[in-house]
């Protein structure tokens, strides 16, 4: 991470902008306003542009590492990582190139070619030992991946198979909303109307 | 800039704004309601976790130790709330500050609010949930409390014919929720109020006495204030409204922001604006249910699981409920982790998936609201952006630890395996130290007996500025230990009655529950 054009380098203005952008965007998930995307980072090998095969392949592997057990059809989090609405879109190409760079350095392979334990170790190391910015960027990408998959954000009705989240627009069987033997669940009540104090 | 006249200008369209809008329109005044947020309502809601949708309506203001979440949309928080409609307990009104002075002004008590609670409950059709409608997570929580000999009450909600779809916090697509869109707001419109979405009030200025001299003192129509606004529906045009009565119902954040931005035009404004924000100190704990407790269900039934325990209210100033967070709000608030996996990696990867697979049925989340002191404050930076701060951190962190201990004890004595709940900051990273996140903020322009201790008088009128009122959560001077909306609405009804009385107006004050022809009149 010591290349003079490295966008993750704190001295590089793009890096500072990326941090600000990330903070604004993640706050967005916590229901706050999103900082408008304003920067274009270009300091990575050409094949890692947003939406390129190399980037998507690596982000696919990243998602499958953050949430093991997804079927290929369920790895739609890549779309969220590349969605310009979220700050990750501005650095997902760097994320992909950084994952491949780390995989190359440790295993002489691309990230997607590694098995799950090795991919997990690479992300763990970046989160544990990376500098503050690397940790922030990886944290943001994991965070968005989880929101995208567990929340099924790409499709209102999709939900998430792993967690049993049904998504929207499905009505539960009323018989399954509450247990019928209500007296079994009754605690001593302090009031008759629900306003005890 | 365009100039417009109205008798009454109401800022915002949430709980604090809706009651004065309706009551003053019923009294025959020309009422204009300006709402900063977009139009939304039963036909426009989505059952979704898509942040693009959520962020359109739900906003946040954060600091290192406190995050406030609120809605900006027609109906304010009512479109997105969980419909829990509880009266504030008497102990809330009895709170005192560090000097021993009462937080609530003279005369504003539970007894004084009770008739207005009655009215608000009738308008919103509030009812206690039936035992057979309590969602499974609430039933399991009640059983856990019962096993320890603790009490637990069925809560009250503003809802009719709930289908239990579980998406109350993204808006009810079935029209079951009794949000302000089905009662106060249409009735205000029917009484002549004009409600404009995408219209933000930017500043308020008292008009010079000369501008109002020609009009009789005490005449509600005498223009006393000029309010500068940006109207989105008119291409962002700047418009100045002149009004005799201005009612601020922009919420705890919105009303304080507006008053802080208006200081140059309001000479007598108290220096307490933005101070004393209370936030119902909510603490969370979670655990995996033991085999001898039945499944809960995070995703079926209404968003709030139906039961609330007042067992620790007198002793510790807290109420306890279970919680059923949808995935995105949960992930944005905290990382759940098995306690025996490392903090750095346990929040993602295989360990996390193993936990997430149990989340729906085998995890119980407990949640408190507490009588924490009003120690938040809001200021504007040099760019006019709001900044939030909190004082008294040692006391807050003692409260947090003590409350957490109670919740963990309830979990462990029931045989649950407690989970680590790591609060996350606004970048998704763990937030070390004391951190509260709430939708129940109050008090930034609190009611007080004098301008030295608050911003508005007990009738909601800004000290030193006749005709300018604050009627929303900003006026409520303390934490309540229960959800805030019903108290805000009841107090706003009381303030509206006071405005009518002050100007000698007699209104019909109809109490017409949403979407029925039932009509009654409060004597
Ligand atoms: C997801 C969620 C769930 C909740 N669940 C519950 C619950 O179950 N029970 C409960 O009691 N409470 C609940 N609450 C809290 C409750 O919604 C709030 O206490 C309540 O809405 C506050 O009322 P208010 O009138 O103070 O402000 P709001 O309802 O927030 O209304 C203020 C309005 O003013 C507008 N505004 C602000 N500034 C301006 C301006 N300058 N110009 C024009 N308009 C402006 C805002 O856009 C907003 O629409 C919940 C809140 C949220 C967000
Ligand atoms: S649970 Fe009930 S009130 Fe909530 S969104 Fe579904 S139908 Fe509406």
pLDDT tens-digit series, residues A132-159? 888 888 999 999 999 999 999 999 999 9
Do A34 and A107 belong to one domain? Answer: no
For the ranges A172-181, B24-33, B92-101, B504-513, the lowest mean pLDDT is seen at B504-513
Out of B89, B299, B428, closest to residue A165 by CB: B299
Find the residues whose C-beta lies inside 6 A of ligand 2. B 159, 162-168, 172, 174, 176-177, 302
Q: Is residue A144 part of a domain?
A: yes
Give the whole-angstrom CA distance, residue A92 versus residue A104: 18
**pLDDT for the residue numbered A34:** 25
> What is the domain count for chain A?
2
Q: A48 CA to chain B: closest CA distance, Å?
A: 24
> Atom of ligand 2 at shortest distance to CA of B163?
7
Out of B151, B298, B349, closest to residue A66 by CB: B349
Rounded average pLDDT over B491-503: 96
Q: Give the total residue count for chain B.
A: 523
For residue B105, how far is its CA from the centre of ligand 2 (angstroms)? 37
B16 touches ligand 1 (CB under 6 Å): yes
Nearest 5°: the CA angle B95, B259, A34 is 95
Express as a percent the part of chain B with pLDDT over 90. 88
Q: Using 50, 70 and 90 to split pLDDT, how confident is the model at B506?
A: confident
Do A65 and A123 belong to one domain? Answer: yes
* Ligand 1 mutation target, pool B22, B485, B486, most atoms within 8 A of CB: B485
pLDDT tens-digit series, residues B38-59? 999 888 999 999 999 999 999 9
Mean pLDDT of chain B: 94
- Ligand positioned closest to the Cα atom of B129: 2
Q: Is residue A86 part of a domain?
A: yes
Give the whole-angstrom CA distance, residue B18 versus residue B76: 9
Residue B475 DSSP code: G
Out of B51, B307, B360, closest to residue A165 by CB: B360
Dihedral angle computed from the Cα positions of residues B283, B288, B294 and B299, in that order, rounded to the nearest 10 degrees:
60
Rounded average pLDDT over B311-321: 98
Q: Is the pLDDT reported for residue B362 higher than 80?
A: yes
Express as a percent the part of chain A with pLDDT over 70. 78
Q: Using 50, 70 and 90 to split pLDDT, how confident is the model at B413?
A: very high
Give the whole-angstrom CA distance, residue B153 versus residue B481: 15
What share of residues in chain A are helix, strand, coil (percent, to 5)?
A: 55, 0, 45
Do A50 and A125 belong to one domain? Answer: yes
Q: Tell the residue number behind the tokens 């919680």, with chain if given.
A: B323
Q: Tell the residue number behind the tokens 């780390």, with chain if given.
A: A102
Give the whole-angstrom CA distance, residue A63 versus residue A58: 9
Contacts of A147 in chain B (CB under 8 A): 49, 51, 327-328, 331-332
Q: Using 50, 70 and 90 to split pLDDT, how confident is the model at B61?
A: very high
Q: Using 50, 70 and 90 to split pLDDT, how confident is the model at B516?
A: very low
Structural contact between residues B40 and B411, judged by C-beta atoms closer than 8 angstroms: no
**pLDDT for the residue numbered B343:** 81
B-facing residues of A in 20-39 (CB < 8 A) are 22-23, 26-34
Residue nearest to atom 6 of ligand 2 (CA): B165
Interface touch B143/A160, C-beta < 8 Å: no
Contacts of A151 in chain B (CB under 8 A): 49-50, 326-328, 331
Rounded average pLDDT over A154-174: 93
**pLDDT for the residue numbered A78:** 79
Scanning every residue of chain B, which has its alpha carbon at the shortest distance from the alpha carbon of A170?
Answer: B165
Out of A163, A176, A185, closest to residue B142 by CB: A185
Give residues with Cβ within 8 angstroms of B314, minimum separation 6: B91
Express as a percent the part of chain B with pLDDT over 70. 96
Q: A87 CA to chain B: closest CA distance, Å?
A: 11
pLDDT tens-digit series, residues A20-30? 434 334 444 43
Interface touch B150/A188, C-beta < 8 Å: yes
Q: Is residue A163 part of a domain?
A: no
Give residues with Cβ within 8 angstroms of B498, minimum separation 6: B459, B460, B461
Interface touch B357/A163, C-beta < 8 Å: yes
For residue B162, how far is its CA from the centre of ligand 2 (angstroms)? 5
* Ligand 2 mutation target, pool B163, B169, B171, most atoms within 8 A of CB: B163
Question: By residue range, what is the domain housing residue A80?
Answer: 46-151
**pLDDT for the residue numbered A132:** 83
Do A64 and A145 belong to one domain? Answer: yes
Do A54 and A27 belong to one domain? Answer: no
For the ranges A129-138, A175-184, B140-149, B458-467, the lowest mean pLDDT is seen at A129-138
Give residues with Cβ within 8 angstroms of B520, minimum separation 6: B122, B510, B511, B512
Q: B108 CA to chain A: closest CA distance, Å?
A: 16
For residue B43, how far is its CA from the centre of ligand 2 (angstroms)? 14
> Atom of ligand 1 at shortest distance to CA of B85?
11
**pLDDT for the residue numbered B211:** 54
Structural contact between residues B367 and B137, judged by C-beta atoms closer than 8 angstroms: no
Secondary-structure class of domain B2-502 per CATH: alpha beta
**pLDDT for the residue numbered A43:** 55
For the ranges A38-42, B11-15, B114-118, B141-145, the lowest mean pLDDT is seen at A38-42
Q: B67 CA to chain A: closest CA distance, Å?
A: 9
pLDDT tens-digit series, residues B186-196? 999 999 999 99
pLDDT tens-digit series, residues B250-270? 999 999 999 999 999 999 999
Q: B488 CA to chain A: closest CA distance, Å?
A: 16
Q: Is residue A156 part of a domain?
A: no
> Atom of ligand 1 at shortest distance to CA of B229?
42
Q: Give the total residue count for chain A.
A: 197
Tally A–B CB contacts below 8 A.
238
Do A72 and A136 belong to one domain? Answer: yes
Q: Is residue A181 part of a domain?
A: no
Phi, psi (deg, nearest 5) at residue A116: -55, -45
Do A104 and A117 belong to one domain? Answer: yes
Give the containing element (helix H, strand E) for A104: helix A88-107
For residue A32, how far is its CA from the centre of ligand 1 (angstroms)? 14
Interface touch A32/B146, C-beta < 8 Å: no
Q: Is the pLDDT reported for residue A16 higher than 60?
A: no
For the ranges B35-44, B79-88, B143-152, B224-233, the lowest mean pLDDT is seen at B35-44
Do A31 and A17 belong to one domain? Answer: yes
Do A23 and A6 belong to one domain? Answer: yes
Give residues with Cβ within 8 angstroms of B34, minimum separation 6: B9, B10, B11, B12, B196, B199, B200, B201, B229, B231, B241
**pLDDT for the residue numbered B485:** 98
Out of B46, B58, B427, closest to residue A156 by CB: B46
Calculate the alpha carbon distances from B267 to B205, B260, B262 in Å: 9, 12, 9
For residue B161, how far is its CA from the centre of ligand 1 (angstroms)? 24
Do A147 and A52 belong to one domain? Answer: yes
Model pTM greater than 0.80? yes
B378 touches ligand 1 (CB under 6 Å): no
Do A31 and A106 belong to one domain? Answer: no
Q: Using 50, 70 and 90 to split pLDDT, how confident is the model at A90?
A: confident
Do A73 and A111 belong to one domain? Answer: yes
B184 touches ligand 1 (CB under 6 Å): no
Q: Tell the residue number behind the tokens 């916090």, with chain if given.
A: B169
**pLDDT for the residue numbered B258:** 98
Structural contact between residues B460 and B495, judged by C-beta atoms closer than 8 angstroms: yes
**pLDDT for the residue numbered A24:** 38
Q: B8 CA to chain A: closest CA distance, Å?
A: 31
Q: Is residue A185 part of a domain?
A: no
Q: Using 50, 70 and 90 to split pLDDT, how confident is the model at A77?
A: confident
Select, from the ranges A80-84, B335-339, B497-501, the one with the highest average predicted confidence (pLDDT). B497-501
Q: Tell the residue number behind the tokens 């109050």, with chain if given.
A: B442
Strand partners, B422: B335
Which residue out of B332, B369, B425 would a mutagenesis test of the A interface target, given it has the greatest number of A Cβ atoms within 10 Å?
Answer: B332
Q: Pairing between strand B31-34 and B2-11?
A: parallel
Domains of chain B by residue range: 2-502
Q: Is residue A7 part of a domain?
A: yes
pLDDT tens-digit series, residues A93-142? 889 999 999 999 999 999 999 999 999 999 999 999 888 888 888 999 99
């Amino acid at each position: 991470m010591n290349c003079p054009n490295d966008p993750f380098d704190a001295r590089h203005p793009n890096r500072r902008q990326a941090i600000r952008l990330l903070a604004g965007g993640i706050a967005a998930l916590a229901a706050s306003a999103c900082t408008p995307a304003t920067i274009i980072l270009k300091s990575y090998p050409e094949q890692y542009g947003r939406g390129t095969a190399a980037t998507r392949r690596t982000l696919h592997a990243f998602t499958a590492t953050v949430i093991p057990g997804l079927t290929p059809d369920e790895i739609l989090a890549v779309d969220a990582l590349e969605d310009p609405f979220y700050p990750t879109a501005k650095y997902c190409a760097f994320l992909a190139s950084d994952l491949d760079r780390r995989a190359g350095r440790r295993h002489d392979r691309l990230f997607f070619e590694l098995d799950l334990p090795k991919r997990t170790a690479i992300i763990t190391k970046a989160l544990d030992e990376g500098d503050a910015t690397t940790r922030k960027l990886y944290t943001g990408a994991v965070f968005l991946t989880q929101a995208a998959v567990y929340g099924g954000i790409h499709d209102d009705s999709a939900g998430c198979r792993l967690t049993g989240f049904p998504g929207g627009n499905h009505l539960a069987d009323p018989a399954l909303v509450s247990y019928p033997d209500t007296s079994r669940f009754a605690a001593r009540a302090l009031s008759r109307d629900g306003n005890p104090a | 800039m365009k100039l417009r006249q109205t008798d009454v200008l109401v800022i915002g369209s949430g709980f604090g704004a809706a009651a004065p809008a309706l009551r003053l329109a019923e009294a025959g005044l020309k009422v204009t309601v300006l709402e900063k947020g977009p139009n939304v309502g039963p036909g426009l809601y989505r059952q979704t976790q898509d942040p693009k949708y959520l962020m359109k309506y739900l906003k946040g203001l954060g600091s290192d130790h406190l995050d406030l979440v609120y809605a900006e949309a027609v109906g304010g928080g009512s479109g997105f709330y969980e419909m829990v409609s509880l009266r504030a307990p008497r102990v809330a009104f009895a709170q005192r500050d560090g000097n021993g002075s009462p937080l609530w002004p003279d005369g504003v008590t539970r007894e004084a609010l009770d008739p207005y609670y009655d009215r608000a409950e009738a308008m919103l059709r509030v009812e206690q949930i039936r035992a057979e409608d309590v969602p499974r997570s609430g039933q399991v929580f009640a059983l856990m409390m019962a096993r320890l000999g603790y009490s637990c009450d069925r809560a009250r909600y503003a809802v009719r014919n709930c289908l239990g779809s579980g998406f109350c916090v993204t808006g009810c697509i079935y029209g079951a929720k009794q949000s302000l869109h089905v009662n106060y707001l249409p009735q205000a419109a029917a009484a002549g109020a004009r409600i404009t979405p995408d219209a933000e009030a930017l500043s308020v200025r008292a008009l010079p006495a000369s501008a109002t001299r020609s009009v009789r003192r005490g005449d509600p129509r005498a223009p006393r204030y000029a309010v500068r606004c940006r109207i989105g529906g008119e291409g962002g045009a700047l418009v100045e409204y002149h009004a005799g009565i201005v009612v601020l119902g922009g919420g705890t954040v919105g009303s304080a922001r507006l008053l802080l931005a208006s200081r140059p035009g309001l000479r007598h404004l108290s220096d307490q604006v933005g101070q004393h924000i209370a936030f119902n100190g909510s603490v969370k704990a979670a655990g995996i249910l033991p085999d001898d407790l039945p499944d809960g269900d995070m995703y079926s039934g209404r968003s709030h699981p139906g039961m609330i325990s007042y067992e620790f209210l007198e002793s510790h100033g807290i109420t306890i409920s279970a919680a059923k967070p949808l995935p995105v709000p949960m992930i944005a608030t905290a990382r759940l982790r098995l306690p025996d996996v490392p903090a750095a990696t346990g929040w993602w990867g295989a360990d996390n998936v193993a936990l997430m697979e149990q989340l729906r049925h085998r995890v119980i989340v407990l949640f408190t609201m507490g009588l924490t002191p009003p120690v938040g404050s809001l200021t504007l930076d040099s760019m006019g952006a709001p900044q939030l701060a909190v004082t008294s951190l040692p006391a807050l962190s003692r409260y947090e630890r003590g409350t957490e201990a109670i919740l963990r004890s309830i979990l462990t004595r029931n045989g649950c395996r407690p989970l680590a709940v790591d609060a996350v900051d606004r970048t998704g990273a763990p937030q070390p130290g004391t951190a509260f996140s709430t939708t129940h903020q109050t008090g930034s322009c609190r009611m007080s007996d004098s301008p030295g201790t608050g911003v508005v008088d007990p009738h909601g009128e800004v000290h030193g500025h006749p005709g300018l009122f604050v009627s929303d959560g900003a006026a409520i001077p303390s934490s309540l230990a229960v959800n805030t909306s019903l108290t805000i609405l009841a107090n706003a009804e009381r303030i509206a009655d006071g405005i009518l009385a002050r100007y000698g107006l007699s209104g019909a004050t109809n109490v017409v529950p949403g979407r029925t022809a039932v009509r009654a009149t409060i004597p």
